[in-house]
Amino acid sequence: MNTFTYRKIKNASLYVLVCLFAGLTAVPLFAILGQVLIKGWRQLIVSDFFVKSTPTTLDALIALRSGEIIPGGIANGIVGTILMVLMATFIAIPIGIFAGIYLAEYKTSKYASIIRFLTDLLQGVPSIVVGVVAFIWVVIPLKSYSALAGSAALTVMMLPLIIRSTEETMKMIPNTMKEAGLALGTSYPIVILRVMLPSAFGGIFTGVLLAVSRVIGETAPLMLTALGSTMIQWDVTRPNSAVSLLIWEFYNDPNLQSLVWSASLFLLIFVLTLNIIAKQIAKKWRIQ
């Protein structure tokens, strides 16, 4: 075998190897999707699943005994998740965007670099720790577990993502855009709010969607703050449920275990959809 064929073989085998490993990364995703689909789809297409609350263990047991599909659904969890994520998003958006603007506009200042570092640290804080802190700061003073406390924990988890995506997008806007605005005799705040921010809209919106999809599946902080609820609860000062919490509860109840799959399937589809939308928006609104 001459050196040339040897090199060709080496080249080909390395190529096959990298392709193989690249393909391997997709395996877990499809394994999860497949498993959840197979085990969860039946429950999901029962119309009650989205409108009824969690069944009791007894109802589930009776249904299981007679070989029927478990009645009830995860409406209480969906309502809780929507309430808490919406509240968290509404609080985190203004704070996150303004903080991100600050970091982008004063990038060289000492204070900004400290804030940037702290933001990175905050992103690394384990979610259970965020939950414990929210418990001490919100649940104890309010003397009740509540959706409010849950959304406080989620807000803290969303902030670093929104701050950094705002900062990165604002930095990508060419300086000439800011200069063009100022050269028209526009004041600095107006240039930021009406020239820079609209140009950065795509990136910021993508960041918000990714932050939402990041916290929508959070469970640990909600155990300590929202606690859970077996019925639909619109009062934000009362304990509430969430889809992720329900998955945990179903897992712990032998009679409800089959619901784990359908609730997971719902959450998974939701998060995947958000991610796909975020990608599309990022593509459509990218900075020219």
Binding site for another protein (CB under 8 A): 108, 174-187, 190-191, 194-195, 198-199, 201, 287-288
Which amino acid, residue 182?
A: L
Alpha helices in 55-138 (DSSP H): 57-65, 75-105, 110-124, 127-134
CB of 194 to another protein, least distance (A): 6
**3-state SS, one letter per residue, for 9-27:** HHHHHHHHHHHHHHHHCHH
CB of 192 to another protein, least distance (A): 11
CB of 197 to another protein, least distance (A): 9
Cα 232 from Cα 139, distance rounded (Å): 20
In the complex with another protein, the residue whose CB is nearer, 34 or 174, is 174
In the complex with another protein, the residue whose CB is nearer, 163 or 195, is 195
Give Dmax (Cα) for the chain.
Answer: 80
In the complex with another protein, the residue whose CB is nearer, 106 or 117, is 106
CB of 201 to another protein, least distance (A): 7
Dihedral (CA of 70, 76, 81, 86) sign: positive
In the complex with another protein, the residue whose CB is nearer, 199 or 225, is 199
In the complex with another protein, the residue whose CB is nearer, 188 or 234, is 188
Residue located via tokens 């060289």: 108
CB of 243 to another protein, least distance (A): 36
Cα 28 from Cα 12, distance rounded (Å): 26
Structure tokens at 27: 């395996």
In the complex with another protein, the residue whose CB is nearer, 206 or 213, is 206
Q: Among 198, 111, 125, which Cα is nearest to 160's? A: 125
Residue located via tokens 């000439």: 176
CB of 287 to another protein, least distance (A): 7
